[in-house]
Structure 1
Amino acid sequence: MKGRGAAQRQSGRRSKTPLFCAAVVALAGAIYSMRQFGQAGGETLVTSVVTRGDLEEVVTATGKIQPFAHVDVGAQASGQLTHILVKIGDHATQGMLLAEIDPQLQSAKVAADEAQIAQYHANLVEQLAIVEYAKATLERNARLLENKAVSKLAMDESRRDSQTAAAKADAIRAQIKQMQSTLESDRATLGYTRIFAPMSGTVVSIDAREGQTLNATYSTPQLLRIAELSTMTVWTEVSEADVTRLHAGMPVYFMTLGHGDRRWTARLRQILPAPHKPVGPQGGSDANTSKNNVVNNVVLYTALFDVDNAAGDLRPEMTAQVFFVAAQTKGAVIAPVTALRASADGGTTVGVVDADGKESERTVQVGLRTRFRVEILKGLAPGERVVTGRKADSGKTPLVSFHL
């Protein structure tokens, strides 16, 4: 029995020895694999291809499209609005009849003025006769006084009557002139009952209705607006940080929300010298609206430019995304800004990757620079690859499993 037990123990030792050796080998292999994976883990170069193209430095802003010119047509005469002869969208030519106000009241005033003037003329004729009589009496009494046929008192009274009659005639003449001025004013007001277009353009709004009573005594009631839509003006708001980069005559282009990628090009016409303040109800700047050009404590200045709109694609109040071209270059060698590195001597270098994937540093000369791209004047050619960044590999340890 003892011999059998000893044999079993010896056999058990021999059976476990190969398993232990296998475990050691597997563990050593796992450690080697992890070391190899760790050595392979590093960083990957992020590259970009140098291209040739156009580059521009722009100042971006938002603007509103408005008619180049417009006029609000109002009423200068009071009365009932009897006819409006145009509709919104109609084209009006300068001098065209637009609306009519009931002229009866103004016609009556003109007739009364004419009658009053006629009465004054009749009074003047009568007074001139009195003047002639007083003058003749004065001359007769002067001759009689020489012969002492009349008293000096009678002579003085004759002189007084002659002068008084002449003064009354002058007063009537003044009344006639005054009444003639009133007649001219009332005739002008009568003419205002027929409202004509002051300029050629499109009727863009009508603010009154036929039958409405207008009171032009204290203010001018607005009837309609005529705008010149063949040329539009873009009112652009530019921040105080960017306005110093703008100048009259510089190229500008813009796009609208409804026309996709279509561009309209123009030239900057004017930069208003002060932030634009809306007109108040009394015609001056309204203090309550003076903050309209200050957004988030940033002062905004107004830049104006005009664009042809013969096709009528642009409409008032459209929003425009505006790009003022501060600088531009055509057919330039272009690289990403992220590829640039500052060298120790104050110059600029880039990392260039060759066909074998090896990186070398190269000195370059740069020109126009934007936020994302830069013009390479010297040192690179289109098609070369430059390093724009480095991406670290994950370096994760592989999962190793084995069974005993």
Structure 2
Amino acid sequence: MRRDDVEDMSDMTAENRHLADPAAVPDQRRRKLIRRGWSALALLLVVAAGVVGWYGYRQRHPQPVPVRLETVIAERADIEQVVNATGNVAMQSYVDVGTKVTGQISDVYVGIGETVKEGKLLVAISPVVQAGRAENNRAQMARLKAELAGQNAQLDFAQLQFQRQTQLKAENATREEAFESSRMGMYSAAAKVDAINAQIQQLDATMKEDEAVQKQTKIVAPISGTVVALSARIGQALSANQDVLMRISDLSKMSVQARVAEEDVTQLHKGMTAYFSTPGYPGKRWAGKLRQIMLLPADDSGRQGKKAFYTVLFDVANPSRELMAGMTADVFFVLSRVERAVTIPASLVVKPDNKGMQKLKILHADGKLETRDVRIGIRNADKAQVISGLAEGEQVLLPASPAAASTTRTGDKAG
């Protein structure tokens, strides 16, 4: 039994003994309350002393705080090193159709966007040349040929006369004047034949030119393709060497004209793979081979201290005619590509040495950190290839991790 209980029982006994004395009861209760107050105060002081002592001990002996290491796992992925540029889609092959005929357009048989085959009739022209001119030329040709026949007969006669006079002269049976006259007659007849032949040739050339003009009044498609521009209108007056009436392009193949900065163009070469995307078809990609690098800077770049840009061309197939001239192209020229390579985030690659070596911290399954040399291959804005020193699935400490800022020896325990 506790001492307080014994005292309480004693008090109760004393109280019973003094029940007859009412004045003694308040004094006993007062003494009891005072004893309990001192006991509570002592207990409070003991608890406070314990708290202060425990806090002081923790200050002198702090507990280690676990360090959480941030890592990334080396994964296998395809990686490309590229040169990025912007450009536009353009027509690869096209023909501007014009005319050499002076006249008036009588019919237009095609419209913009229409697909035509080679040889299809496009435009008909009524020429200014009179229709009777051809008839007149044919009649004149017939007259000249008739004159030529008569003159040839005279030439034959003159030649026979000259031969006879030559024989008679050999026999001294003719006069010199007769011999010379026959020779001059033969030469004159031959000259007239030559003159008529020249007229015939000149007229023949004129007639062929008229025939060519007549053929040019029917303008046909020089290639198979699509009419992408048309300026010809019915009733339009034309003159020789008129400007372009329409443009026909083969849209099954398109070209991309990319502007490449001078520091990047030196890495490109003919035949390398290039691909692009365009805002008109999100998520779709077209690929081709680099065809040509222009040797002169594009536009006014490279002048007065400006950076030079060069136009680089490559062709892409467009069988469904989705691509249109003028579309914006986000172009990538593939410098190198590795499939299924061990990769890490590009942010881990700080500054490899001239052999491509880079120090990385590897976290093992038992929590130990190892500083290891790895060889870095190609890299881009997102990923870097690891050639050696790191296996798929290993955890690499991120630069932002607290342990990455301190130098850790091989085999040190993390945390």
* Equivalent position of 2:288 in the other structure: 266
1:78 aligns with 2:89: no
* Equivalent position of 2:21 in the other structure: none
* SS of structure 2 residue aligned to 1:245: coil
CA distance in 2, matches of 1:366, 1:233: 36
| Residues 1:295 and 1:99: Cα distance change in structure 2 (over 3 Å) | farther
CA distance in 2, matches of 1:108, 1:292: 60
| Residues 1:340 and 1:163: Cα distance change in structure 2 (over 3 Å) | closer
**AA in 1 matched with 2:276:** F
1:222 aligns with 2:244: yes
1:308 is displaced (CA, Å) by 1.9
1:76 is displaced (CA, Å) by 2.2
1:254 aligns with 2:276: yes
**AA in 2 matched with 1:79:** G
| Residues 1:372 and 1:127: Cα distance change in structure 2 (over 3 Å) | same
Whether the 8 Å contact between 2:363 and 2:370 is mirrored in structure 1 is yes
1:253 is displaced (CA, Å) by 1.6
| Residues 1:88 and 1:174: Cα distance change in structure 2 (over 3 Å) | same
| Residues 1:264 and 1:293: Cα distance change in structure 2 (over 3 Å) | farther
| Residues 1:140 and 1:342: Cα distance change in structure 2 (over 3 Å) | closer
CA distance in 2, matches of 1:293, 1:342: 31
1:273 is displaced (CA, Å) by 5.4
| Residues 1:336 and 1:139: Cα distance change in structure 2 (over 3 Å) | closer
Query: Deviations 1:240-271 (Å, cap 9, x if unpaired)?
Result: 32223223332222100111121122233x22
* SS of structure 2 residue aligned to 1:179: helix
CA distance in 1, matches of 2:236, 2:199: 37
**AA in 1 matched with 2:400:** G
Bigger RCO (CA 8 Å, 6+ sep): 1
* Equivalent position of 1:206 in the other structure: 230
**AA in 1 matched with 2:374:** V
* Equivalent position of 1:348 in the other structure: 358
1:107 is displaced (CA, Å) by 4.3
Whether the 8 Å contact between 2:145 and 2:200 is mirrored in structure 1 is yes
Query: Deviations 1:312-342 (Å, cap 9, x if unpaired)?
Result: 2111121211111111222223222332456
CA distance in 2, matches of 1:49, 1:108: 91
1:330 aligns with 2:347: no
Which stretch of the first structure deviates more once superposed, 133-142 or 253-262?
A: 133-142
**AA in 1 matched with 2:257:** W
CA distance in 1, matches of 2:257, 2:400: 42
| Residues 1:338 and 1:295: Cα distance change in structure 2 (over 3 Å) | farther
Which stretch of the first structure deviates more once superposed, 47-56 or 328-337?
A: 47-56
* Equivalent position of 1:171 in the other structure: 195
Aligned ranges 1:182-331 → 2 under 5 Å: 182-216=206-240, 219-268=241-290, 270-272=291-293, 274-275=295-296, 291=300, 297-331=306-340
| Residues 1:352 and 1:120: Cα distance change in structure 2 (over 3 Å) | same
1:363 aligns with 2:373: yes
- Of 68, 78, 88 in structure 1, the residue corresponding to residue 92 of structure 2 is 68
1:376 is displaced (CA, Å) by 2.2
**AA in 1 matched with 2:101:** A
- Of 356, 374, 381 in structure 1, the residue corresponding to residue 384 of structure 2 is 374
Whether the 8 Å contact between 1:80 and 1:101 is mirrored in structure 2 is yes
Structure 1 residue runs without a partner (length 5+): 1-27, 278-289, 392-404
CA distance in 2, matches of 1:241, 1:361: 35
| Residues 1:364 and 1:147: Cα distance change in structure 2 (over 3 Å) | closer
CA distance in 1, matches of 2:102, 2:304: 43
| Residues 1:77 and 1:316: Cα distance change in structure 2 (over 3 Å) | same
* SS of structure 2 residue aligned to 1:275: strand
CA distance in 2, matches of 1:115, 1:344: 93
CA distance in 2, matches of 1:66, 1:371: 29
How high is the TM-score relative to the length of structure 2? 0.70
* Percent of residue pairs bearing the same amino acid type: 34
1:156 is displaced (CA, Å) by 2.4
Query: Deviations 1:347-401 (Å, cap 9, x if unpaired)?
Result: 421234568988653332322222442122323543624222368xxxxxxxxxx
CA distance in 2, matches of 1:323, 1:198: 35
Query: Deviations 1:201-255 (Å, cap 9, x if unpaired)?
Result: 1111102222111112xx3421111111112222223233222322333222210
* SS of structure 1 residue aligned to 2:222: coil
CA RMSD of aligned residues (A): 4.0
1:105 aligns with 2:129: yes
* SS of structure 1 residue aligned to 2:193: helix
Whether the 8 Å contact between 2:101 and 2:127 is mirrored in structure 1 is no
CA distance in 2, matches of 1:210, 1:341: 70
* Equivalent position of 1:59 in the other structure: 83
| Residues 1:133 and 1:357: Cα distance change in structure 2 (over 3 Å) | same
Whether the 8 Å contact between 1:214 and 1:221 is mirrored in structure 2 is no
Whether the 8 Å contact between 2:344 and 2:385 is mirrored in structure 1 is yes
The structure with the larger Rg is 2
- Higher fraction of strand: 1
1:180 is displaced (CA, Å) by 1.4
| Residues 1:129 and 1:66: Cα distance change in structure 2 (over 3 Å) | same
CA distance in 2, matches of 1:364, 1:146: 115
CA distance in 2, matches of 1:271, 1:293: 20
* Equivalent position of 1:13 in the other structure: none
